[in-house]
Amino acid sequence: MAKTSTRDRMSNEINAGSMADIAFLLLIFFLVTTTIVEDKGITVKLPPWSEEEPDITKLKKRNVFSVLVNAQDQLLVRGEPARIEELRGRAKEFISNPSKLENLAEKPTKAIISLKNDRGTSYDAYLTVYNELKAAYSELWDELSQRRYGVPYSEDMPFAYKKAIREEIPFVLSEAEPTAFGEE
């Protein structure tokens, strides 16, 4: 039997010295080029901070559309139990007051929607109510835009048109401080 020298044997090793460098460079490349998607949430413009005492004016009860969501996710609209399916229609009627009723808003510029929830209110119920109230305004803006300009209200319409519509029907949704769990 002949002896084999180490020179005759094939080397089965792979040089892995630069593998760590390549993996590190790929990691840096993916970290730099990847964009992280952020949740937008609800875009609400908060009033500016002020050290002065707020001017508390008397509001006419007829101009306030109060919506309360309690800890059991039940809805009270102006003190009466209501279903979520009715909320959008009732809010639109309140804001526009087409029949000029005495118990609805005097005009759209004076209409205030007050949303109050309980600390026990589910997030899903809160968002559903908020979306219905926002949709009421969106439908009113769209109807006014169709009547006045013949085009639906959208983000790509001229700024002057949007401003005129928003001045006639301003989005006024006041969110009150949540009550303690199960208080109301």
Q: Rounded to an integer, what distance in angstroms lies between the CA atom of residue 144 and that of residue 163? A: 12
1, pLDDT greater than 60: no
Over residues 9-17, the mean pLDDT reads: 69
Residues 49-95: tens digit of each pLDDT: 777 776 666 667 888 899 999 888 899 998 899 999 999 999 999 99
User: Could you give the angle at the alpha carbon of 13 between the alpha carbons of 7 and 19, nearest 5°?
Assistant: 145
Q: Return the exposure string of 1-20: e unless at least 16 CB atoms fall within 10 Å of the residue's CB, then b.
A: eeeeeeeeeeeeeeeeeeee
Residues 122-165: tens digit of each pLDDT: 889 999 999 999 999 999 999 999 999 999 998 888 999 999 99
184, pLDDT greater than 70: no
Residues 162-180: tens digit of each pLDDT: 999 999 999 988 887 776 6
